[in-house]
Amino acid sequence: MFEYIAEVLHMDIEYSSFEGTADLPLYITGAYDLYNLRIDKSDMLLAVSNTEINLSVLRKQHRRIEALTGMRCVLYLNSMTYYARDKMIEEGIPFVWEGRQLYIPFLGMSLSNNTRTELAYCTKISFLTQKLLLTAIYQKWEKANVTAAAEILGVSKMSASRCYDEIEAFGIRQLEVKGRARTLTCGNKKDFWESIKSVLIDPVIMSYALRRDLEDSHALSGISALAGYSLLADDPYPTYGFTKKDIGSIDVSKSALIPPGETPGCIVQKIGYWIEFGDGTKMDPLSVALSISEEDKKDPRVEKAVEEMLEEYVW
């Protein structure tokens, strides 16, 4: 079940068993398995139903669980009727319908496997959708449909379709919708970038300051990548980027990290996606621009370097 939630959201989630079951009434603990769930730094309770419960009882038990625990509660249901689904959405009751739909309104998330019309709104773009949009800029897509996008990104059509769901939900005007057919056209690269920049996110999930530099050569990210694309001087230590899949090969345990205030041997960044660009030795320029911290952006030299990088390598 947790794999399904992570797959639909295109992001890492954290979960653990709920420790407060002893304080709850038996009719709750007998009907649900309870878990602590964290999505995008938001904590909630996941109540996994282990029996079929009618809508009237679900309403009451959901309210009771939230009142007793003081936590937001998301119901996880293996089966439900479409009538119940529609009423729960109408009443704002968060739920996950296994294999079909996820509805967490307090996070602005409504995603469905079966129909794009269920995606009413989004508040945060997924890493895969961001990768798709940036790839569309680099390759200057012209009327790329879901099938073409899936082939280019090397993902399933279902995954690409979810990306198009998000793009449509954000109201990105470069997506053309005619009936069930949807195509994405880049047009002018710079104009496209400016029109979508407000919904894009920092691709860096986590940064680790290590005591020592890495021995082997690795792809640069952050300021180091920006320095590689421009005349900007690099930090005294390099910054490397690793995907969630590859960072397991690097020791980022507590013993490998420096104490606060000391100069690191290197910075290792955990990246939500990776776009192959140029010779592959650096993070792609658009993602570099998105990864630069607000503090670094205050430096006019950094701001100028970003402009020069994008002008030379993207526009």
With H, G, I as helix, E, B as strand and everything else as coil, classify residue 204: strand
Please give the Cα distance from 132 to 166 (Å, whole number). 11
Please give the Cα distance from 2 to 15 (Å, whole number). 8
* Per-residue pLDDT at 123: 55
Domain locations along the chain: 2-114, 127-199, 204-313
CA angle 89, 93, 97 (to 5 degrees): 75
DSSP letters, 28-65, are: HHTTEEEEEEEETTEEEEEEEESS---HHHHHHHHHHH
* Per-residue pLDDT at 121: 46
* Per-residue pLDDT at 117: 40
* Per-residue pLDDT at 113: 52
The residue ranges of the chain whose pLDDT is under 70 are 109-124
CATH number of 127-199, picked from 1.10.1520.10, 1.10.10.10, 3.40.1010.20, 3.40.50.970? 1.10.10.10
* Per-residue pLDDT at 112: 58
**Do the Cβ atoms of 242 and 213 come closer than 8 Å?**
no
* Per-residue pLDDT at 144: 96
Residue 106 corresponds to which tokens in the numbers above?
A: 């307090």
